[in-house]
């Protein structure tokens, strides 16, 4: 364990942060962490290229946390993300890294939930804010008009995470508006998976003499890529056939529109797949449920649009399948970057119709090589898809009710009598908790939790799948 501490301590991190890295099992800094942490600690602005899964959150998060003075009672750092899902993931990672920093207050400020509770959470200024552009601007405006919202007057660090996607989603004016409110001395760290002309243009207006890092190219994922060319009416059939042939433990399937996402999810469910859709029409609670089920293994196939999929970070994801090939090369890079991580080999498959050939050619030109083509077996009889290994229980209590993951685990392995290996991922939210339970034990777990409660409290528990 000493080697773990030494590896991160050598980056001149404060001892509590190096110790947190050790406790989280991070033995060696990733390339982006090795290159970004030292200049960020020195106060330099950064323009950093880092793909999803490269360790970029700690690359900006550890220097950010090293500068926080919790006793100051002022907002000192702002991390801006393109979506709620990514903001939630970043906040989770930062809390884990800050586990040995006493009295640090970190909150997420995203749309999709009422404004009033977020205003109340700002009565005592948070040290760190993670949020999306629109909601952060709303709360800044409230603070400027009433004095009761968000203030960036003392901000020391401003982070733009996945800046290229924020530009793609039309947030450039919001970003500029936020930047005008920053103190002149604030440090800016811009992270992006690609360095397009637009990214460099926005960087030129935000960053002062930045250190430029391109660590995304140093640790390329090992991904086996190919395409299937089909006629337009065969798209759903082709997706079903790929899933039947490959039988992945989990697959993230991309569509280009919300309508196609919902239609494909229905087609997969009709065939018996443990599948669901993630798109912008879902309420926040519905989105959280779908993401929790996919992350914990009770949902084998998640169908999503590119925007809705931002922030999905599933360790060991074996397959990314583009039911509709991406419309540009950067979008393609974001999709496939979710597989083939941490030294594992991933699979990325794209379904292409003749009308989409120009998109294919554009991506091939950017990657410097044509896609291999593979044929699909014309099999009218497909094997029945295997069920998901887990089922998800929803408990109607969360962090606001002082519920902890250990309480849930204790109730399931204690009074409910489940073996520890039957309990999977536990996802805790402010008012809800989702827990994965091995399929064979799920009904027993549901009955026992309803009967005996958790730590003497009777709580509502439901089976989601």
Residue 424 burial (CB count, 10 A): 17
CA 281 to chain CA centroid, Å, is 19
CA 44-338-215 angle, 5° bins = 30
Tell me where in the chain the CATH 3.30.70.330 domain(s) lie. Answer: 390-463
The answer to whether 11 touches 34, Cβ cutoff 8 Å, is yes
| CATH architecture for segment(s) 2-217 | 3-Layer(aba) Sandwich (3.40)
**Segment 354-374, tens digit of pLDDT:** 999 999 999 999 888 899 999
Tell me where in the chain the CATH 3.40.50.300 domain(s) lie. Answer: 2-217, 222-367
Which residues, other chains included, contact 386 with Cβ-Cβ below 8 Å and sequence gap of 6+? 247, 300
Quick check: 388 pLDDT over 70? yes
User: pLDDT at position 315, please?
Assistant: 67
What is the band of 342 on the pLDDT scale with cuts at 50, 70, 90? Answer: low
Quick check: 160 pLDDT over 70? yes
User: pLDDT at position 31, please?
Assistant: 87
User: pLDDT at position 4, please?
Assistant: 41
**Segment 89-116, tens digit of pLDDT:** 899 999 999 999 988 999 999 877 888 8
What is the band of 147 on the pLDDT scale with cuts at 50, 70, 90? Answer: confident
**Higher confidence at residue 53 or residue 127?**
127
Quick check: 427 pLDDT over 90? no
pLDDT above 70 covers a percentage of the chain that reads 93
Residue 73 burial (CB count, 10 A): 14
Give dist(CA 90, CA 295) in Å, integer. 16
What is the band of 380 on the pLDDT scale with cuts at 50, 70, 90? Answer: low
**Segment 196-246, tens digit of pLDDT:** 777 888 889 999 999 999 864 445 567 889 999 999 889 999 999 999 988
Instruction: Kindly state the tokens that stand for 73.
Output: 């009672």
Instruction: Kindly state the tokens that stand for 204.
Output: 């030129």
User: pLDDT at position 284, please?
Assistant: 82
The CATH code of domain 390-463 reads 3.30.70.330
Quick check: 152 pLDDT over 80? yes
User: pLDDT at position 3, please?
Assistant: 40
What is the band of 168 on the pLDDT scale with cuts at 50, 70, 90? Answer: low
Quick check: 132 pLDDT over 80? yes
3-class secondary-structure state, position 280: coil
What is the band of 158 on the pLDDT scale with cuts at 50, 70, 90? Answer: very high
Quick check: 313 pLDDT over 80? no
Task: Label the pairing between strands 461-463 and 390-395.
Answer: antiparallel
Average pLDDT over every residue of 423-436: 89
Average pLDDT over every residue of 248-260: 93
Average pLDDT over every residue of 284-310: 88
- Per CATH, is 222-367 categorized as 3.40.50.800? no
Give dist(CA 332, CA 227) in Å, integer. 13
**Segment 11-42, tens digit of pLDDT:** 778 888 988 888 887 878 888 998 999 999 99
User: pLDDT at position 67, please?
Assistant: 94
Give dist(CA 368, CA 449) in Å, integer. 55
Quick check: 66 pLDDT over 50? yes
User: pLDDT at position 71, please?
Assistant: 83
DSSP string, 314-339: -TT--EEEESS--SSHHHHHHHHTTS
Q: 319: which strand partners?
A: 251, 347
pTM of the model: 0.61
* C-alpha dihedral (67, 69, 72, 77), degrees to nearest 10: 40
The answer to whether 46 touches 213, Cβ cutoff 8 Å, is yes
User: pLDDT at position 1, please?
Assistant: 34
By C-alpha distance, which of 169, 165, 208 is closest to 311? Answer: 165
Exposed, middle or buried by CB within 10 Å (0-12, 13-18, 19+), for 110? Answer: buried
Give dist(CA 454, CA 404) in Å, integer. 10
Give dist(CA 96, CA 331) in Å, integer. 30
DSSP string, 221-248: -EEEEEEEE--GGGHHHHHHHHHHHH--
Among 306-315, 320-329, 341-350, the range with the most confident prediction by mean pLDDT is 320-329
């Amino acid at each position: 364990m000493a080697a773990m501490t030494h590896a991160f301590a050598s980056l001149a991190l404060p001892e509590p942060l190096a110790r947190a890295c050790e406790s989280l099992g991070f033995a060696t800094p990733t390339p982006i962490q090795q290159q970004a942490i030292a200049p960020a600690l020195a106060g330099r602005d950064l323009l950093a290229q880092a793909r999803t899964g490269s360790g970029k959150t700690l690359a900006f998060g550890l220097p950010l946390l090293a500068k926080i003075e919790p006793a100051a009672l002022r907002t000192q750092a702002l991390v801006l993300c393109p979506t709620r899902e990514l903001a939630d993931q970043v906040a989770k990672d930062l809390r884990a890294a800050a586990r040995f920093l006493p009295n640090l207050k970190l909150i997420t400020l995203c749309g999709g939930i009422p404004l009033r509770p977020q205003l109340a959470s700002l009565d005592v200024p948070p040290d760190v804010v993670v949020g999306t552009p629109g909601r952060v601007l709303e709360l800044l405006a409230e603070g400027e008009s009433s004095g009761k919202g968000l203030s960036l007057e003392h901000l020391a660090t401003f982070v733009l995470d996945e800046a290229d996607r924020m530009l793609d989603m039309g947030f450039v004016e919001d970003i500029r508006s936020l930047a005008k409110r920053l103190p002149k001395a604030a440090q800016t760290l811009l992270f992006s998976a690609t360095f397009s002309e637009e990214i460099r243009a926005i960087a030129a207006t935000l960053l002062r003499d930045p250190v430029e890092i391109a660590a995304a190219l140093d640790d390329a994922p090992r991904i086996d890529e190919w395409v299937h060319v089909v006629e337009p009416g065969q798209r759903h059939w082709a997706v079903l056939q790929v899933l039947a042939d490959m039988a992945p433990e989990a697959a993230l399937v991309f569509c280009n529109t919300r309508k196609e996402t919902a239609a494909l999810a229905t087609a997969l469910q009709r065939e018996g797949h443990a599948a669901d859709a993630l798109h912008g029409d879902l309420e926040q609670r519905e989105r959280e449920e779908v993401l929790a089920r996919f992350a914990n293994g009770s949902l084998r196939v998640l169908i999503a649009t590119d925007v809705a999929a931002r922030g999905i970070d599933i360790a060991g994801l074996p397959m990314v399948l583009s039911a509709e090939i991406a419309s540009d090369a950067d979008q393609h890079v974001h999709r496939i970057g979710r597989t083939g991580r941490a030294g594992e080999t991933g699979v990325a498959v794209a379904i292409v119709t003749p009308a989409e050939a120009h998109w294919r050619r554009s991506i091939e030109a950017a990657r410097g090589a044509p896609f291999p083509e593979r044929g699909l077996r014309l099999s009218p009889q497909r094997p029945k898809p295997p069920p998901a290994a887990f089922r998800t229980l929803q408990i109607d209590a969360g962090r606001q009710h002082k519920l902890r993951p250990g309480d849930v685990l204790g109730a399931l392995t204690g009074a409910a009598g489940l073996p520890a290996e039957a309990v999977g991922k536990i996802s805790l939210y402010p008012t809800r908790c989702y827990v994965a339970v091995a399929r064979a034990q799920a009904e027993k777990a549901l009955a026992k939790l309803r009967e005996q409660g958790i730590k003497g409290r009777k709580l509502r528990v439901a089976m989601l799948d």
